[in-house]
């Protein structure tokens, strides 16, 4: 048992743990038994975790067939958080037709009741200008029927005014643990779907979203994503995150936590550390 005090609360939120993507071969020998074929990774993944963040959809649009295959291989036993294509967040070339096509492709996951929040991750260059605010409002309207988690890497968005607007519209603030280096926002845990009865959101289940990147101080100089995420959290760090979550347990019903540090199977070990810490604090952890 951890040394943290037990939090007494009338709410019993559920926490989903998983990784950013499921295709990293660094997970062979831990999450995936040695010899597992890549085509069977998702089937093996679903035996361990109940949620996954799909990042490949950022690089190339995925079709109906691809999502149907994910549902089949996972036996509809996990929740899929889908990252929006880069045209929505980076090139800003997306149109309402692109949004409709993106949603149409998701139908197999929607029909199987396996859809977690959609994720849009804006780059560091997307600052809080008037044009970008108008674009964001437009994008939110395109995906108004879905839980939308939004990650901002430019610090200009990290203000109480933006946080309050998220609460008003039932949007999910994507909390992120970044390396504490110059140019990245400070890590924090924030829940904005705190009062959905008075928001514009359709769903009434209050959701949170947390991405854990690790604390590799070589973030800006790393030559690849694998190198950037080469960091394994300590037990103490995972216990600290568990306590931070427990301190806000009254503000959410479901929390999705995705570890991005699959390099060298760091995520596999960190998920177990966090799971143990959360169970000690009486959470339901999937």
- Phi, psi of 36, rounded to the nearest 5 degrees: -65, 130
The 10s digit of each residue's pLDDT in 46-78 is 999 999 999 999 999 999 999 999 999 999 999
- Residue-wise pLDDT for 159-174, tens only, equals 999 999 999 999 999 9
222 or 170: whose pLDDT is higher? 170
At 142 the pLDDT is 97
Of the candidate ranges 58-72, 209-223, 266-280, the one whose mean pLDDT is the lowest: 209-223
Q: What is the pLDDT of residues 90-113, one digit of tens each?
A: 999 999 999 999 999 999 999 999
Pairwise CA distance, residues 269 & 48, whole Å: 13
Number of helices (H) and strands (E), helices first, in the chain?
11, 9
Reference 195, options 236, 231, 167; nearest CA is 167
- What average pLDDT is seen over the chain? 91
Cβ-based burial of 175 (10 A; exposed 0-12, middle 13-18, buried ≥19):
buried
Report d(CA 72, CA 232) in Å as an integer.
32
Burial class (CB in 10 A: 0-12, 13-18, 19+), 159: exposed
Model confidence at 225: pLDDT above 70 = yes
Other CB atoms within 10 Å distance of the CB of residue 104:
11
pLDDT higher than threshold 90 for residue 122: yes
pLDDT band per the 50, 70, 90 thresholds, residue 201: low
Domains of the chain: 17-285 (3.20.20.410)
5 falls in which pLDDT band (50, 70, 90)?
very low
Q: What is the pLDDT of residue 223?
A: 79
Say whether pLDDT at 10 is over 70: no
Mean pLDDT check: name the lowest of 45-49, 127-131, 222-226.
Answer: 222-226
**Is the per-residue pLDDT at 3 higher than 50?**
no
Please give the backbone phi and psi of residue 65, each rounded to the nearest 5 degrees, phi first.
-65, -40
Global confidence as pTM = 0.92
Residue 6 has pLDDT above 50, yes or no: no
Q: What span, in angstroms and rounded, lies between the C-alpha atoms of 55 and 283?
A: 27
User: What is 161-192 written as a DSSP string?
Assistant: HHHHHHHHHTPEEEEEE--S-TTSPPPB----
What local confidence, expressed as pLDDT, does residue 1 receive?
33
Whether the Cβ atoms of residue 266 and residue 226 lie closer than 8 Å to each other: no
Higher per-residue confidence, 232 vs 7? 232
């Amino acid at each position: 048992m951890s040394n943290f005090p037990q939090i007494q609360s009338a709410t019993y939120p559920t926490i989903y743990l998983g990784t950013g993507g499921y295709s990293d071969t660094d997970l062979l020998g831990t999450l995936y038994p040695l010899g597992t074929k890549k085509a069977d990774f998702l089937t093996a993944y679903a035996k361990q975790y109940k949620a996954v963040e799909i990042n490949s959809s950022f690089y190339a649009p995925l079709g109906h067939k691809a999502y149907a295959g994910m549902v089949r291989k996972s036996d509809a036993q996990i929740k899929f958080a889908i990252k929006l294509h880069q045209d929505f967040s980076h090139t800003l070339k997306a149109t309402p037709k692109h949004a409709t096509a993106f949603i149409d492709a998701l139908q197999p996951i929607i029909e199987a009741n396996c859809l977690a929040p959609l994720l849009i991750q804006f780059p560091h260059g997307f600052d809080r200008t008037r044009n970008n605010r108008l674009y964001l409002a437009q994008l939110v309207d395109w995906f108004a029927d879905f839980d939308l988690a939004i990650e901002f890497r430019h610090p200009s968005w990290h203000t109480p005014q933006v946080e309050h607007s998220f609460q008003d519209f039932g949007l999910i603030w994507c909390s992120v643990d970044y390396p504490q280096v110059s140019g990245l926002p400070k890590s924090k845990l924030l829940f904005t779907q705190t009062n959905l009865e008075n928001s514009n959101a359709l769903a009434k289940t209050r959701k949170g979203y947390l991405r854990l990147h690790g604390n590799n101080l070589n973030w800006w100089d790393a030559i690849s994503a694998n190198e950037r995420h080469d960091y394994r959290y300590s037990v103490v760090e995972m216990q600290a995150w568990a306590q931070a979550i427990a301190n806000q347990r009254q503000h959410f019903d479901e929390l999705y936590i995705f570890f991005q540090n699959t390099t060298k199977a760091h995520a596999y070990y960190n998920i177990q550390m966090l799971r143990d810490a959360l169970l000690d604090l009486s959470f339901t952890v999937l």
